[in-house]
Amino acid sequence: MKMNKTDALIIGAGPTGLFTAHQLKLIGLDCEIVDNLDKIGGQCIELYPDKPIYDIPAVPECTGEELTNNLINQIKPFNIKFHLKERVDEVKKEGDNWIVKTNNGTIFSTPNVIIAGGVGSFEPRKFSVKECEKFENKSVLYSIKDKSIFKDKTVTIFGGGDSALDWALELSKNSKVNLVHRRDDFRGAQATVDKVHELAKAKKIDLYTKYQMNAIKGEGQLESIDIKNDDKETKTLKTDYALGFFGLIMQLGPIANWGLNIDKKTIEVDTEKFETNQKGIYAVGDICSYPGKLKLILSGFHEGALAARACFKLARPNEKYRFEFTTSSKTIKNRLGVKSD
């Protein structure tokens, strides 16, 4: 197995993780970034890409997506390696280094691990009916990898956003589709909503609004699902698959097992290096806590800048870190690939 060696590994590609990477590269350290989402930006891109933010210093107004794109632009000169759709599962000490493993089997060896994980990793929200676990990844799914498995089968889709609606439209071509949603209004794009209603009228999709899953049945294999509405009326739908599209939720996940001091889903750090109780593991952004902590993006930037300086000591034990300004330092300008005056 190939070992990826780096001066610092950043967990989380949200705004704090991205700016921390910028700070590391600026002072001459290399780094790589791991994130469980399939895209860069963390909560900014997953929770509020279109919502305006008004408290980024010197940026009067920008959306979550714009902020993310600006941060990506800012680190462009550095060519940083991202490992998306990977979740860090294990962090273990080996000599002076941390050995970090992801759920994809990628392994890193690094003296510095910076956790910029927000409230944890984004995972799909699941059905509240507990028995669904028995069928999970077989006939109860929260994402689709191979749509051919649904051909000529009955698929029951739950949800009212674009994922649920898009898949209902797509799968209705080759499968019998039930679409179940808790209310009459859908929050997907209007054109998609119209199309769904059209297909429902033409009996190509069976639409059940104001219903939610109440029970799931089957011995070994999924046979049927009971749905119930607010007036306690129940219907039984025979189905081969149940798909849930309820968006993502943040789970602290494996971070809880790395021997860190955790209180209320946040990691305790000092305010000099933003180091945790484990030497060489730092926490920055929403996931860290210390007296006076403010959960603002701007705090994450400050925390990342200081954690990056702390990384220097462990990554370059025989060198002395020298503070320099981007306005005047030739070395920094070289790293950025800009001309010096």
Partner 1 sequence: MAKITYITHDNQNHTIEVQNGLSVMEGAVQNDIPGIDADCGGGMACATCHVYVNDEWFDKLPAKEEGEEDMLDMAFEPKKNSRLSCQIIVSDELDGLTVDIPLKQG
> Which chain residues interact with partner 1 by CB under 8 A?
43, 47-48, 51, 119, 125-126, 128, 159-161, 181-183, 185, 187, 212, 230, 246-247, 249-250, 265, 286, 295
Q: Which is nearer to partner 1, 26 or 288 (CB)?
A: 288
To the nearest whole angstrom, how small is the minimum distance from the Cβ of residue 246 to partner 1? Answer: 5
The closest of 55, 82, 21, 243 to 147, measured between CA atoms, is 243
How many alpha carbons fall within 13 Å on the CB side of residue 128? 4
Q: Which is nearer to partner 1, 48 or 208 (CB)?
A: 48
Q: Which is nearer to partner 1, 167 or 246 (CB)?
A: 246
In the block, tokens 């909503």 appear at 193
Distance CA 163, CA 245 (A): 6
Q: Which is nearer to partner 1, 8 or 297 (CB)?
A: 297
To the nearest whole angstrom, how small is the minimum distance from the Cβ of residue 270 to partner 1? Answer: 23
**Helix, strand, or coil (residue 239):** coil
To the nearest whole angstrom, how small is the minimum distance from the Cβ of residue 315 to partner 1? Answer: 32
**Helix, strand, or coil (residue 200):** helix
To the nearest whole angstrom, how small is the minimum distance from the Cβ of residue 228 to partner 1? Answer: 11
To the nearest whole angstrom, how small is the minimum distance from the Cβ of residue 295 to partner 1? Answer: 6
Q: Which is nearer to partner 1, 17 or 280 (CB)?
A: 17
Distance CA 179, CA 68 (A): 34
With contact defined as beta carbons under 8 Å apart, do 148 and 138 qualify? no
- State which amino acid sits at residue 187: R
The closest of 184, 154, 185, 159 to 171, measured between CA atoms, is 154
